[in-house]
Amino acid sequence: MNREGETAAIPIDIVSDVVCPWCFIGKRHLEAALAQFDAPVSIRWLPYFLNPDTPPEGEPYRPFLERKFGGADALEGIWARVRDAGRNTGIAFAFEKIELRASTLAAHRLIEHFQQAGDTGVSNELVERLFHAGFCEGRFIGDPGVLADIAAACGADRDETDAWLRSDRGAEAVIAQEARLRQLGISGVPFFIFNGRLAVSGAQPPEVLLDALRQATA
Distance CA 29, CA 34 (A): 9
Residue 209 to residue 73: CA distance in whole angstroms: 32
Distances (CA, A) of 74 to 28, 46, 65, 93, 98: 26, 30, 10, 17, 18
Residue whose C-alpha is closest to residue 84's, from 21, 168, 150:
21
**Nearest residue to 18 (alpha-carbon basis) of 173, 142, 118:** 142
Do the bridges between strand 59-60 and strand 100-101 make them parallel or antiparallel, or are there none, so unpaired? antiparallel
Would 44 be classed as within a structural domain?
yes
Confidence of residue 119 (pLDDT cuts 50, 70, 90): confident
Q: What is the pLDDT of residue 2?
A: 44
Inter-residue contact 14 to 27 (CB < 8 Å): yes
Q: Is residue 110 part of a domain?
A: yes
Residue 175: pLDDT band with limits 50, 70, 90:
very high
Q: What pLDDT score was predicted for residue 118?
A: 78
Domain that holds residue 55: 10-216
Residue 113 lies in a domain: yes
pLDDT at 210 over 70: yes
**Within a domain: 2:** no
Q: What is the pLDDT of residues 121-140, one digit of tens each?
A: 899 999 999 999 999 999 99
User: What is the per-residue pLDDT for 126?
Assistant: 97
Task: Give the total number of structural domains in the chain.
Answer: 1
Q: State the burial class of residue 187 (Cβ atoms within 10 Å of its Cβ: 0-12, 13-18, 19+).
A: exposed
State the pLDDT at residue 1.
Answer: 36
The C-alpha atoms of residue 94 and residue 83 are separated, in whole angstroms, by 8
Look at residue 167 and tell me whether its pLDDT is greater than 70. yes
Q: Does residue 4 fall inside a structural domain?
A: no
- Write out the DSSP string of 68-124: HHTSHHHHHHHHHHHHHHHHTTT----GGG--EE---HHHHHHHHHHHHTT-HHHHH
CATH number of residue 95's parent domain:
3.40.30.10
Range 59-81 average pLDDT: 96
Question: Is residue 1, in this structure, part of any structural domain at all?
Answer: no
Is the pLDDT score of 5 beyond 80? Answer: no
Specify if 205 maps to a domain: yes
Residue 3 included in any domain = no
pLDDT of amino acid 6: 62
